[in-house]
Amino acid sequence: MTVTIDKPLSWRDVARVSIGEPLALSEAAWKRVGEASRIVERIVETGVRAYGVNTGVGALSDTVVDRPSQSRLSRNIIMSHACGVGPLLSAREVRAIIAAQIGNFAHGHSGVRPEIISHLAAFLERDCIPEVPSKGSAGYLTHNAHTALVLIGEGRAAVKGKSMSGADALAAIGLSPLVLGAKEGLSLVNGTACATGLSALAVSRAEHLLDWADAIAALTLEAAGCQMAAFDEAVLALRPSAGLAKVGQRLRNRLRGSGLVAAALGRRTQDALSLRSVPHAHGAAWDVFEQTARIVDQELASVTDNPAVSGTPEQPVVSSEAHAVAPALGQAADSLAVAIAQIAAMSERRMDRLVNPLVSGLPPFLASDAGSHSGFMIAQYTAAALSNDNRRLAAPASLDGGLTSGLQEDFLAHPTAAASKLLTILDNAEYILAIELMAAAQAHDFLASKATRAPGTDRLYAAVRSRVPLYGDDRPLNTDMENLRDLLAQTAPPAESETGA
């Protein structure tokens, strides 16, 4: 179903567009876009000095550009700013960025012509994905420039998955290259669309991952014979936290009716912290998630062009400001990165407790024939290596340095870098949780004769076994890891109870 912009987009809207839904503007939004475009036209006619309209950009902001050169300035900005390098962003990531950019233009303070937005919306509708290198952006400029190249028939794009030149891509979807007007080049590279689109996608993936993390933890807790008293509602209420209460409720729902948990009652005074503090760690991550999601929505509701145009064509107002800087967004992405890295690290510790014969009470490394079989011994190494990667990646990007544009841009908030490494942490976390899920299912195979699983965990176990069979050192284990990572990435966890509560 088409996502229509009337009020500001939400991160959920951007996530929907990222997976293939088209994007359109309401009549009111088109009216805002047209009015802002007429304001820029009037600025050009009157010669009112305006950054990026009739001046250079960055450190060249005091250099006046004559009227005949203003369209050339817009084109030149695109060419000179297309400095990205390295692997390409995924189609889903590029779609998210384009959605956020259209959302920014739809506020009606950028001044681009409606044709710019129509072309970008056609990219989304007709599966024309600009090829955007993932590296080289200290803020937002380079990623956006590579999308803008295709608008003018330059660069490259993939149309329905086939890579071709920007000119051929436009022809393939029935469009002609645009000749940019005053300010349009700057508007196309400016703003926080790149960081906001990537952050919206990251928030969507984080919500999905945290749902799975809660479910997988329950399967491990049951296999480990957890002491459920630590998750009592009244006990958890001693530490006020919406996230903690949510996770506690989920664990109780998922583990209700477990014969394995009942058989383990009183076996230990208390469990190890990687088991006992699941509501605390996962709950903290949910609390950080909610705050990050709010800030991404705040960014989508913000005008992030510099300059912003307002007023009327008769009385135009051009405001040079710093709305293209997004410290709050960078800090929020950094915070969620830490939270997801911690959830993944705890997952690796739980997985180790299942395979470690010193504490598991299960066959060493969950091997079907310990000695001749290694079981999940090296799978734990993989989880540990990915967790260590996350630890390094979780260092805050928002504190990175960097002076650009001849000291004109002497503070950088790095929200794009923060969002990019958050996405990488999510990639690693999906694999780590998939490995825990794989190990937990194998542990349950050894416990099948001891007692019954809870209905909520049995559905989870069945989902695993529908993808991968019991492991007996009879195939490369990474294939199972990839299968279960796909399960996590592409589907929601099975319901906690028959009613879906």
Show which residues are catalytic.
51
| Closest residue by Cα to residue 89 from 120, 125, 131 | 131
Report CA Rg, the chain: 26
**Single-letter code of the amino acid located at 108:** G
Q: Answer yes or no: are the C-beta atoms of 379 and 477 closer than 8 Å.
A: yes
**What are the CA-CA distances from residue 161 to residues 164, 168, 172 (Å)?**
10, 14, 12
Token pair 């600009």 is found at 130
The C-alpha angle 327, 331, 335, rounded to 5 degrees, equals 170
Question: How far is CA 467 from its chain centroid?
Answer: 26
Q: Kindly state the tokens that stand for 89.
A: 């962003």
Q: Answer yes or no: are the C-beta atoms of 188 and 57 closer than 8 Å.
A: no
Token pair 């749902």 is found at 211
CB 488: neighbour CB atoms within 10 A?
Answer: 22
For the chain, the distance separating the N- and C-terminal CA atoms, rounded to the nearest angstrom, is 27
Question: How far is CA 193 from its chain centroid?
Answer: 13
| Secondary structure (3-state) at 319 | strand
Token pair 């690290």 is found at 345
Q: Give the pairing type, strands 308-311 and 156-159.
A: unpaired
87 exposure class (CB count in 10 Å sphere: 0-12, 13-18, 19+)? exposed
Across 85-202, the runs of DSSP E, i.e. the strands, are: 85-88, 128-130, 133-135, 156-159, 162-165
The C-alpha angle 496, 498, 501, rounded to 5 degrees, equals 50
Whole-angstrom distance, CA of residue 397 vs CA of residue 323:
19
Token pair 């948990």 is found at 261
Whole-angstrom distance, CA of residue 271 vs CA of residue 284:
20
